[in-house]
Amino acid sequence: TSFHATVGVDDSSGNRSRAVTFAVYADGKRVAVTPALKPGDAARDITADIAGRNVIELVTTSTGAANEIAVVVTWGSARLAN
């Protein structure tokens, strides 16, 4: 079983310099991560092997201070496949 999505930072995000990474965790272990993406960057595919796992977490992490303008992100076409 695998997880697939197309991820990216929405171009409407107010903070255009803030980088974001997308990660998939399975049972608490990181199983996939993207390079840092910013508004204007092309969307990227992310795929993770989740066979035999019970808990899947989709985590987005950004650089910068917590009080900065939020970055809008998308986990597009998210799906599970056998």
How many beta carbons lie within 10 A of that of residue 52, not counting itself? Answer: 8
> Where do we find the tokens 């009080």?
67
pTM of the model: 0.90
pLDDT digits (tens, 9 = 90+) for 28-80: 999 999 999 999 999 999 999 999 999 999 999 987 666 677 788 999 999 99
Q: What is the pLDDT of residue 70?
A: 78
